[in-house]
Amino acid sequence: MITSSEISPLIDEIALKLLEELQKNARASYAELGRVAGLSPSATAERLRRLEDAGIIRGYRAEVDPSSLGLGIMALIRMTADGPQYRQLMNFLGQCEQIRECYHVTGSDALTMKVLVASIADLEELIMQLLQYGVPTTSIVLSTPVVRNAYQVRPKSAGRISGKKRKS
């Protein structure tokens, strides 16, 4: 597995092409991907297997709209738990289906969690359960104006930071 600050030696021009295409269409066949990358279907399959084995490609999945499953309320919950409560909280979070993501963060809170629930009553019930581990601070998400599921696999051109030109 590669660390956060290094680029894998498996990332060459062919791998970049494959990663770009897979992010556009994860259901593309080996033949389709191979045409883009200039490989045979079997060579494409082998390349992808190596990228998977190295942990560069973490998986292929369908993205389901949670509101279609009745989970129309998203909230962010921040909290801190001390000592033995922290381990108990981690066990609870690992079993709680409403907690969709949990981040261990710096600052005054130890954790930030993304929560999906069907109703305000369900959110309140979850908050009540969390109270036994610490003090949760909850924000209901009104909208999500930016979502990025794909990564830019090629470096940006020199002289650009955050989409703006650097002043000389």
Residue 42's domain spans which residues?
13-53
Kindly give the residue spans of alpha helices, DSSP state H, lying in the chain. Answer: 13-24, 30-37, 41-53, 83-95, 120-130
- CATH label of the domain that carries residue 31: 1.10.10.10
b (16+ CB within 10 A) / e for 125-139: ebbeebeebbebebe
42 in the same domain as 78: no
As a whole number of angstroms, the distance between CA 42 and CA 63 comes to 27
Reduced 3-state DSSP string for 30-58: HHHHHHHHCCCHHHHHHHHHHHHHCCCCC
Write down which residue in 24, 53, 82 finishes a domain. Answer: 53
CA 103, distance to chain mean position in Å, is 11
Contact 70, 122 (CB under 8 A): no
Q: Are 121 and 75 members of one domain?
A: yes
- Say what the pLDDT of residue 156 is: 67
10-residue mean pLDDT series, the chain (168 residues): 66 93 94 96 96 94 93 97 91 97 94 98 98 96 93 68 50
User: Does 121 reside within a domain?
Assistant: yes
93, 47: one domain: no
Tokens 């998400």, located at residue: 141
Report the predicted TM-score, pTM, of the whole model to 2 decimal places.
0.77
Beta pairing class for 160-161 and 73-79: unpaired
In the numeric block, which tokens belong to residue 51? 């990228």
Same domain, 17 and 78: no
- Residue 159: inside a domain, yes or no? no
Residue in the structure block whose two tokens are 């929560």: 115
